[in-house]
Each structure stands twice: as C-alpha cells, then as structure tokens.
Chains A and B, each alone.
Chain A
Amino acid sequence: MRADSQSSRVRVESGLGKRRRREIIFRTFGLVATLVGVFFLVAFFATLIANGSSAFVQTFLELDIEYSEEALAPNGEIDLDFADFDGIARAALRKKFPDVTARNERRELNRLISVGAGYQIRDAITNNPELLGSSVAMQVPAAANVDMLLKGNIDRNVPADQRPLSDQQIQWIGQLTADGSLATKFNKALFVNGDSREPELAGIRGALMGSFYMLVITIALAFPIGAAAAIYLEEFAPRNRWADLIEVNINNLAAVPSIVFGLLGLAVFINWIGIPRSAPLVGGLVLSLLTLPVIIIASRAAIKAVPPSIREAAFGLGASKMQVVFHHVLPLAMPGMLTGAIIGMSRALGESAPLLMIGMVAFIVDVPGNFSDPATALPVQIYLWADSPERAFAERTSAAIIVLLGFLLLMNLAAVILRKRVERKW
C-alpha cells in the first residue's frame, strides 16, 4: 500500500506542472479576449465622441437686423407672404462688407447665411410686431459650411475647386471671426427641430418623438400580452404536442430576421387593415410583434426559476391555481420578466430594418404630434443622415448615435433599478 500511494503521489506531482500551464494558457486567452473587447468598445466610443461631440455646438452669426418697413411691409402693412426675410438677413450681412457690390460676389456672400436666418427673423417679427422700423442685434445660424470651416472639417489648403468654400468666402469668414461676429453656441436646433435638408437646421426631435410613440405602443402591447402568454404556457397550458409546437414556434420567431416583421406589418397592418403608412402606430405594432417572443421566452424562464417548493407550500395550504400564480409565482418572477421586457424594449428602440418596410424611412420634417402622424425613428434618422453627402451631416450622425446610446443606457439603468426595487430582499 505504502509503495502504491508513494507512486501515485509522484504521478500527481509530475502532472501538476502541466495542469498549471494549461490554466495559465486559458487565463491568458480569457484576458486577451476581454482586452480585445474592451479595446474595440473604447475605440468605438472614442470615434463616436470625437466625431459627434462637435455637433452639439453650432456657429452663429451676429447681425444688426433692420426690420425695415420697405422689406417687411411693401404694401403698407406687414405681409408675411410677401415679406423678404432672407433679404433682410442678407442686407444686414452686406452692411458689414460695404465694398462687395458685384452680383456674383454678393451671391457668394449670401451663402454664408443659413436659410434658417430668414425663418428666425420671420418668427421674431410675428411674435413681436413692435419691432417694425427698429434695428436689433440678433444671432442667426451661419451656413453649415461656415460651421464646418471653423470646426476644422474643411481643409483650407486644398485647391479652391475641391472645397465647398471659395478663397473669397474663407477670407470673409476670417474677417467676421476677427471682428467677433461669429459665435459658437449650444446647438439647440439639434434637439428642438425635426429633420431638414440644411444640416445646421436639422434636428432629431421628430425621430425622438417617433421612437417615443412607438415604444409606448410596444410596451403597452408586448408586455401584457407577453406576460399573459408566458403565464398561461408555463402554468395553465396542458403539456402536449400543441404546447411543444407553440414553444418551438416562439423560439423560432425570436430568431426571425427583423425585416420579415416589417414585411408582415406592411402586408397586414397597412395593406389589409389600412393603418396609414409611416405612422408610429404601425411601427409600434410591428415592434410589438418583434419583441413579443423575447418577452415570452424571458418571462417563461423567470417563471420556471421560481422554486417548486413555494408552489407546493401554497397548494398545500389550499391556494387555488390562480392564487398560487398571482400571490407567489408572479412576485418572484417579476424581476426576470421586467428584465426581459426592457431587453425587448432596447431591441425595439435600436431596430431600423422593419421600419424601412413600413415607410418610416421617409424624409419627414414635422415633429409627429400623435400616433398616426408620419414619423421616423432614431435609428432610421441615423441611417438617413449617414446617407447624406453634406459633411455637416456626418457629425450629426455621430451625435444622433450618441443620443440613441444614451437612451439605451438610460433604459438599461432603469431596468437595473426596477429589478432592484421589485426583487425581494430575502
């Protein structure tokens, strides 16, 4: 016996080095994998913030606006249809450059002002007609190219025909900068405006509201239906071939490419039921279908995880099936079900493919005010902007992604907090 245990000890010890080496190799692998993941995450966030953070500020041009009667009230009273608001802004800019007289030079100078300047002047005089005849200093948005030049996104050193600004324009911008007429301010337009062809006027408000309306519909439909289905399948449904069939199909649905749900929405909700296309209502319905399997699967797993001893205890006391489910199973399963719901919501918020199918990819300027207004969604807005050629839309694309990620982060945070609250402490 003694000799035997001696020899097994030798064997164990001789193998130890090999075991330890394997462990070190595996741990190194794990560490490298984690580091690679972290590296890409950091790189992703760094590029996003580097590209997108400049979109949160915007260049404005300070001009002395003359609300002259001649431009605003050519027929004696203010006529908003015929008043030349753009002309007022241009005149104010020309006053800073009195020596610019030639027609094509004037045209080049005019291009430094955004079309938003005219709208701003119109709004000012509409809200306050007493301004008529007076002259007020006002900050109007500069054209996107001015903004891009100042943010360093337009290279001054390339030949003039390869950049959107002429040498003359760059020189004017230099003069304006020197006399303090150009100011950078927080880009409020990005958050209060809908989409626009002009980058300096484009905002995500419309997309944000579209996403909001869709998520309201999704959570209102998908969570109750998903939870009810999960409870029925897990607690009440007979275990037979039909139950198996349903289970397999639900698992399959969770893996169906999302664009297929878009086609279904197009065929059923728009063509058959006749809900207007591009409406958040359709989007919400489609996203509900998309998140239902996720919620059902997560809820079923949460219900399954409730210890059977709790059910038995309640049954043993004479609780009915309903009482067992609603008094004991659901409170214990709720944190898991809520987590599933929020994961589903996050997926719905980030989904764009099915929305392309139901017309939510249209160029929509107005901010939707209800569930049937034409709308788009944040991820679709990102897609639309990413597709635009203007350099200024590139930074807005990144900015919109930052906002989207911010909302996803908020939702996941809400999930954690909600779970902590609902979860029993014992």
Chain B
Amino acid sequence: MKDDVTPTDPVAVQKSAAPANKTVGDVRCANPFMVAENINVFYGDNHAIQDVTLEIAKNEVIALIGPSGCGKSTFLRCLNRMNDSIDSARVTGTITLDGQDIYSKDLDPVALRARVGMVFQKPNPFPKSIYDNVAYGPRIHGLANDRAELDDIVHTSLERAGLLKEVKDRLDEPGTGLSGGQQQRLCIARTIAVNPEVILMDEPCSALDPIATARIEDLMDELSENYAIVIVTHSMQQAARVSRRVAYFHLGHLIEVDDTDKIFTNPQHKLTEDYVTGRIG
C-alpha cells in the first residue's frame, strides 16, 4: 500500500481532482471475454453510471472498488442484467459476452444468467435443503439427465466450494441452518453448479468474520482457474489479496483501471490515490 506520496510529488501534480471523462490506466486487456462499452445507467433521472468502458479477461479476478454509492454494484448488476427487474432503471451502451451482445433482443436474460452467475452480499440460501439449494440451478436448466448425474453435480459443486466435507452427511438439512460463512460457500456452490463462465460477486464477504472471509478468498483464487470473477468489495486489503486487476469507481465514473499492484502502489489518478490511502471513502 502506498502512503508516502506527498502533494509535491511530480506525478501527483498532474492528477486532477475533478472526475474525468477519460478513464486512467488501461481498460483493455489481453484476451477480453466480457466487454462493456460506454455503459450508462439511469435510475429515473439519476445518472448512476456514466460512460464506463471495461474489458474483463477469462480466468482473471477483477475487483471493483470505490466509496459507497459510486456505482460499482450497479455496474456489476449490468453484467447479468439484474437491473432489468428495476422498473426505473435504463441501461445504454453495449456489453458483449464472448462477442455476443447481452442486451440484444434475441438474448434471453435467463440464458445469460446461466452463463453469468452471481453471489450476493448477504448469504441468501433458499429455505430448502442443502442438496436442493445446489440442485436448483441444474434442475431448472435441465443440466442433469438423471438423479445420479444430479448427485454428481451437487457433490462436485460442494467440493469445489470447499463445503462438501462439512455437509456431506447432512445434505437434506436446511441450508439456512448453516453458519454465515458456510451459507455463503453454499451460495457459491449453487452458482457454480450451473457451470457459468463468469461469476459476479457483490461484496461476498461483508457479512462474514475474518476466518470465513479467508476461506472464501482462497476459494476465489481456485475458482479463477476456470471462471472470470468480478468482485465488488469495500475492503482494499481484500482487493489487493484476491484480484489481478482493480477498477476504481467514483460517483458513477470509472476513474482508473490497472493491475492491482499498480493501483495500490502507484495510482495515477488523484482520486484513486486519495481512496487507497484512506483519505476518502
């Protein structure tokens, strides 16, 4: 973490205090898998996201950080069209997933969400058994041909979420009876049971204690081998630990995107610097 930058630093002098329209750093990446171009989101008259462009590569963890209300969660929810359910929300710009426009008329959000899974801030298992929680996605999408196959999906998903050992003897017990950290891993297992290509995580550890958080972070590391992970977090330490790239949002603008090391040690933008050094936020 960088805390020795003074206002007289020659680099810092160039940094502008006002939100710029141009994002600093590099919004592009080597093998873009999901590409958001010029995204604007309006909630009624409120312009929540302003002209954000960002590329997300396969097998990377990208962290979205920024002060509360900066639009990072809103941006995240654009990526699997969860904003559709909010009547007043309007999204402009294009987002492509593997070259396919996800806001096009012929793309069903149901199909999109099977490819772009989501883990929420508060663990939200269904009030059903652990087994049914994980099996729900495969069931509605018809991913398993028979019971054995479904059993297999449930077991592998729980295994990959690091939960199988703890729950394998009580799969028929309610998922809501687990501890907070276990519930969140159950939600991750439920998400990966559908075998998505991208996993969106909206502050997945904010309701968890440090030990449970550490387990989820380890899990993210493992999952990034197979999935692109976009994580919104309030914890800069977490962003520093789990992500390869970091995107800093401020008041609806994407201020700066760069490799994690660079954001935390040598941010190019004044606002990014203020935020990562703890002066705002």
Most chain B CB neighbours (cut-off 10 Å) among A239, A317, A332: A317
Q: What are 13 A-B contacts defined by CB distance under 8 Å?
A: A309-B122, A312-B120, A315-B113, A316-B117, A316-B118, A317-B136, A317-B140, A317-B191, A318-B137, A319-B136, A331-B127, A332-B127, A426-B176
Which stretch of B34-42, B79-87, B89-97 is in the interface?
B79-87
Interface set, chain A 296-316, CB cutoff 8 A to B: 307, 309-316
A424 at the interface (CB under 8 A from B): yes
> In the bound complex, what is the Cα–Cα distance between A424 and B176 (angstroms)?
11
* Contact of A323 (CB < 8 Å), options: B125, B140, B187: B140
A316 to B201, CA, bound (A): 11
Is residue A159 contacting chain B, with contact meaning CB distance below 8 A? no
Is A238 engaged at the interface, CB distance under 8 Å to the other chain?
yes
Given A309-B122, A316-B113, A317-B137, 4 further pairs, Cβ under 8 A: A311-B85, A313-B120, A314-B126, A319-B136
The reply to whether the CB of A320 lies closer than 8 angstroms to some CB of chain B is yes
A312/B82 in contact, CB under 8 A: yes
Count, chain A residues at interface, CB 8 A: 23
CA distance A174 to B187 in the complex (A): 84
Residues A318 and B114 in contact in the complex (CB < 8 Å), given A238-B87, A312-B82, A313-B187: yes
Binding site for B on A (CB under 8 A): 238-239, 307, 309-320, 323, 327-328, 331-332, 424-426
In the complex, which of the residues B82, B117, B177 contacts A426, with contact meaning CB atoms closer than 8 Å?
A: B177
Residues of A contacting B80 with CB < 8 Å?
Answer: 316
Report B-chain residues with C-beta under 8 Å of the C-beta of A426.
127, 174, 176-177
CB within 8 Å of A: which residues of B? 80, 82, 85, 87, 110-114, 117-120, 122, 124-127, 136-137, 140-141, 174, 176-177, 187, 190-191, 194
Q: How far is the CA of A309 from the CA of B120 in the complex (A)?
A: 8
CB distance from B208 to the nearest CB of A (A): 15
Please tell me if the beta carbons of B126 and A316 are within 8 angstroms of each other in the complex.
Answer: no
A79 to chain B, nearest CB (A): 73
Q: A310-B124, A312-B82, A313-B187 are in contact. Are A318 and B140 (CB under 8 A)?
A: yes
**Residues on the B chain within 8 Å of A316, using CB:** 80, 82, 113, 117-120, 191
CB of B179, distance to nearest CB on chain A (Å): 14
Output the least CB separation between B166 and chain A (Å): 18
Q: In the complex where A313-B187, A424-B127 touch, is A318 in contact with B141 (Cβ < 8 A)?
A: yes
Name which residue of chain A comes closest to B137, CB basis: A317
What distance in Å separates the Cβ of B17 from its nearest Cβ neighbour in chain A?
A: 36
Measured CA separation A310–B117 after assembly (Å): 15
Q: Which residues of A contact B118 (CB under 8 A)?
A: 312, 316
Chain B, residue nearest A311 (CB): B85
Distance to closest chain A CB from B185 (angstroms): 14
Contacts of B82 in A (CB 8 A): 312, 315-316
Chain B residues with Cβ below 8 Å from A313 are 120, 124-126, 187, 190
Find chain B residues with CB under 8 A from A311 CB. Answer: 85
The answer to whether residues A320 and B110 also contact, given A239-B87, A315-B85, A426-B174 and a CB cut-off of 8 A, is yes
Hey, which chain A residues are within 8 Å of B140, CB to CB? 317-320, 323, 327
> In the bound complex, what is the Cα–Cα distance between A289 and B3 (angstroms)?
71
A310-B176 in contact (CB<8A): no
Q: How far is the CB of B201 from chain A (nearest CB, A)?
A: 11
A183→B8 CA distance, assembly (Å) = 113
Q: Using Cβ atoms and an 8 Å threshold, which residues of chain A touch B117?
A: 316-317
CA A331 to CA B127, docked complex, whole Å? 10
